[in-house]
Amino acid sequence: MPLGLLGKKLGMTQIFDESGSMIPVTVILAGPNFVVQKRNIERDGYEAVQLGFDERPERNVNKPDLGNFRKADAPPCYFLREFRGAETQTYEVGQKIGVCDVFEDGDRIDVIGTSKGRGFASVRKRHNSRPGPKSHGSMYHNRPGSGGASSYPSRTWKGKHNPGHHGTERVTAQNLRIVKRDPEKNILFVRGSVPGANNGYVMIRKHAK
């Protein structure tokens, strides 16, 4: 079986277990996925399967990509990613994969997404640096601190914490637990938070123990 699925983060909610305890969960639409291509060692040097998620109209797809989808007998998709592993070779091109084909209740998973963009952020927000004194005439407050001594090294060290672009990075939330599945709607309820904004695409893979 493939080591994971592609999905879309729908938002957060809460559910109650059998004991009545409240569990905060993230709702992920994780299917259906379609096998668009397969990689093998003889041709590509590695074993993997390319999955597609979130169907799109054919009129919005260029001819080379549309030819690949038609060759695979799969609908055009917005989101394409590969999952590596020998287990992926058991699936066939064009096959449709749902939530229950890959995951079980209680499985541990890793979720990969793109974090929210924060634009140009200060050094305190970007690197969680400490503020300076705010009294006795101090003019420091939120400044990033010394950039480097004048005599040595006479330059700014690489990696110095400075203001700049914050967010929009690939983030992996590890060892999350699947609390519940909805096979009919291909929905996963995952305990905890998942990186990215609502309606953002994510990769869901089994946690490497």
Give tens-digit pLDDT for 125-175: 999 888 888 888 888 888 887 888 888 888 888 888 889 999 999 999 999
Q: 103 with 182, same domain?
A: yes
| Mean pLDDT of the residues in the chain | 89
Judge if 67 and 123 occupy the same domain: no
User: What is the domain extent for residue 198?
Assistant: 4-115+168-206
- Cite the DSSP H helix spans in 28-187: 41-44, 63-71, 123-127
H helices present in the chain, as ranges: 41-44, 63-71, 123-127
pLDDT of residue 1: 44
The residue that leads in pLDDT, 204 or 86, is 204
Do both 98 and 75 map to the same domain?
yes
Pair (39, 16) in one structural domain: yes
Looking at the predicted structure, is the pLDDT value of residue 123 above 50?
Answer: yes
> According to the model, what pLDDT value does residue 2 have?
55
For the stretch 51-68, pLDDT in tens is 999 999 999 989 998 998
Instruction: Give the up-direction half-sphere exposure of residue 203: CA atoms within 13 A in the CB hemisphere.
Output: 21
pTM for this structure? 0.83
Does residue 88 carry a pLDDT above 80? Answer: no
Could you tell me if 198 and 108 lie in one domain?
A: yes
* Segment (H or E) for 159: none
18 and 64, same domain (yes or no)? yes
> Number of structural domains, the chain?
2
58 and 147 housed in the same domain: no
